[in-house]
Chain A
Amino acid sequence: MAQGGIRNIVVAGAGQAAAQALQSLRSGGYDGTLTVVGDEAALPYQRPPLSKAYLKGEFEEDRLYFKPGSWYEDQNIEVVLGTTVTGINRAQREVQLEHGGHLPYDALILATGSRPRQLTLPGADLGGVYDLRSLADVERLSPQMVAGRKLVIIGAGYIGLEAAAVARHMGLEVTVLEMAPRVLARVTSPALSAFYEAEHRSHGVTILTGVQTSRLNGANGQVTSVVLADGKELPADIVLSGIGILPNEELAKAAGIACSNGILVDRDGRTSDPNVYAAGDCASRPLVHYGRSGRLESVHNAIEQGKLVAAAILGLPRPAEDCPWFWSDQYDLKLQIAGLSQGYDTHVVRGDPASRKFAVFYLKNGTLIAVDAVNSPPEFLASKKLIMSGAKLAPNVLIDTSTPMKDIAAQAAA
Chain B
Amino acid sequence: MAKITYIAHDGTERTIEARNGMSVMEVAVNNSIPGIDADCGGACACATCHVYVDEAFLSKAGEQQEMEKSMLDFAENVRPNSRLSCQIKVTDALDGLRVTTPESQH
A residues touching B (Cβ–Cβ < 8 Å)? 46, 48-49, 52, 60, 63, 66-68, 71, 299-300, 303, 320, 325, 327, 329, 334, 336, 375-378, 381-382, 406
Contact = CB atoms under 8 A, between A and B. Distances in A.
Contact of A327 (B26, B29, B43): B43
B45 A336 contact: yes
Closest 5 CB pairs of A and B: A381-B74, A327-B45, A377-B70, A377-B71, A46-B41
Contacts of B46: 300, 325, 327
Contacts of B67: 334, 375, 377
Nearest to A16: B41
B8 interface: no
Contact of B45 (A66, A334, A376, A378): A334
Contacts of A48: 40-41, 43
Contacts of B21: 60
Interface string B35-78: 00001110111110000000000000000000100110110000
B44 A334 contact: yes
A86 to B, nearest CB: 31
B22 interface: yes
Contacts of B73: 377-378, 406
A300 B41 contact: no
Given A48-B40, A63-B22, A299-B40, 14 more contacts: A48-B43, A60-B21, A66-B29, A71-B32, A299-B41, A300-B39, A303-B39, A325-B46, A327-B40, A327-B45, A327-B46, A375-B67, A377-B73, A381-B74
19 contacts: A48-B41, A60-B21, A63-B22, A63-B26, A67-B30, A67-B32, A299-B39, A300-B39, A320-B106, A327-B46, A334-B44, A334-B45, A336-B45, A377-B47, A377-B70, A378-B73, A381-B47, A406-B73, A406-B74
Contacts of A334: 43-45, 67
B34 to A, nearest CB: 8
Greatest chain A CB density within 10 A among B70, B71, B106 is at: B70
B68 to A, nearest CB: 9
Nearest to A337: B45
B30 A329 contact: no
A378 B39 contact: no
Contacts of A325: 46
Nearest to B68: A377
A263 to B, nearest CB: 23
Contacts of A381: 47, 71, 74
A48 B67 CA distance: 19
Contacts of A377: 47, 67, 70-71, 73-74
A325 B43 CA distance: 13
A378 B43 contact: no
Nearest to A70: B30
A52 B43 CA distance: 10
A299 B41 CA distance: 9
A372 B43 CA distance: 17
Contacts of B29: 66-67
A173 to B, nearest CB: 28
Given A300-B39, A378-B70, A68 B30 contact: yes
Contacts of B47: 377, 381
A171 B7 CA distance: 45
A351 to B, nearest CB: 13
A325 B45 CA distance: 10
B71 A329 contact: no
A375 B69 CA distance: 12
A68 B47 CA distance: 23
Contacts of B40: 48, 299, 327
Nearest to B72: A377
A292 B40 CA distance: 25
A327 B43 CA distance: 9
Contacts of A303: 39
Interface in B3-38: 21-22, 26, 29-30, 32
Nearest to B106: A320
A300 B22 CA distance: 23
Contacts of B32: 67, 71
Given A67-B30, A68-B30, A299-B39, A382 B74 contact: yes
A79 to B, nearest CB: 16
A85 B32 CA distance: 29
Nearest to A302: B39
Nearest to B47: A381
Contacts of B45: 327, 334, 336
Nearest to B30: A68
Contacts of B41: 46, 48-49, 299
Contacts of B39: 299-300, 303
A63 B29 CA distance: 11
